Chain A
Amino acid sequence: KAGVTQTPRYLIKTRGQQVTLSCSPISGHRSVSWYQQTPGQGLQFLFEYFSETQRNKGNFPGRFSGRQFSNSRSEMNVSTLELGDSALYLCASSLAGTGGGYTFGSGTRLTVV
């Protein structure tokens, strides 16, 4: 079966702009999580959605938001981009979000200039 699909793979944006990233989970998986990966901070949890509801949110400013659709696909949005938002954004899916056995996508590499 198809894995977790993230689009786009690469993105270059200018400071102040906003960006939307997309994630399609494995078929049947209803939990989608987002992580930010940077060389300095490593992997940091952004938020998790299950059945269109956000259940957990990490310690990120309100500029970072997300949503999940009825087909479990998820999007995350970052508004008013800052240089420090440059990172690899990873999406992970699982059946129900429990157990920790998440399947990760390849990520979206965001560069803010």
Chain B
Amino acid sequence: AQRVTQPEKLLSVFKGAPVELKCNYSYSGSPELFWYVQYSRQRLQLLLRHISRESIKGFTADLNKGETSFHLKKPFAQEEDSAMYYCALRSGAGSYQLTFGKGTKLSVIP
């Protein structure tokens, strides 16, 4: 069975400081990894997916299969980055479900 672990429930950083939200997964195959974000009073929304290798709102994430990690990074945190971040895994073709981590609340201190 697959599992997604986000070790930090809460992460506080100062504005302008680098941010790294950790995500580790356990799955024996080749998963697809995603980051979802939920801003205050808003819906859960897709931030980025590893297959796109894109940068959204300054955030990037690299899939490290050796370390089974998919950490989310941003070089300079902004106050508007404060939100709940969820890492999610899809176990590949033939699977239509996401397995979510429990989330990390990012608080950016002005």
Contact A58 B43 (CB under 8 A): no
Contact B97 A33 (CB under 8 A): yes
Complex interface: chain A residues within 8 A of B32 (CB): 99-100
Contacts of B100 in A (CB 8 A): 35, 42-44
Q: Is the CB of B102 within 8 A of A31?
A: no
Q: Are B43 and A42 in contact (CB under 8 A)?
A: no
Q: How far is the CB of A92 from chain B (nearest CB, A)?
A: 8
Cβ of A75 within 8 Å of any chain B Cβ, yes or no, is no
Is there contact, CB below 8 Å, between B90 and A100? yes
CA distance A43 to B38 in the complex (A): 13
Q: Are A100 and B88 in contact (CB under 8 A)?
A: yes
Contact B99 A100 (CB under 8 A): no
Which residues of chain A come closer than 8 Å to B103, judged between CB atoms? 42
Q: How large is the interface on B (under 10, 10 to 19, 20 to 34, 35 or more residues)?
A: 20 to 34
Assuming the A-B contacts A42-B100, A42-B101, A100-B32, are A56 and B45 also in contact, with contact meaning beta carbons closer than 8 angstroms in the complex?
A: no
CB-nearest residue of chain B relative to A41?
A: B102
Within 8 A of A (CB), among B78-104: 86, 88, 90, 93, 95-103
Contact A101 B102 (CB under 8 A): no
**Contact call B34/A100, Cβ cutoff below 8 A:** yes
Assess the A45–B97 pair: CB atoms within 8 A. Answer: yes
- Asked whether, in the complex, the Cβ of A104 is within 8 Å of the Cβ of B45, the reply is yes
B11 at the interface (CB under 8 A from A): no
Q: Is B46 an interface residue (CB 8 A)?
A: yes
Given A43-B100, A44-B100, A48-B96, 10 more pairs with CB closer than 8 A: A33-B96, A33-B98, A42-B102, A45-B97, A58-B97, A100-B34, A100-B90, A101-B46, A102-B46, A104-B44
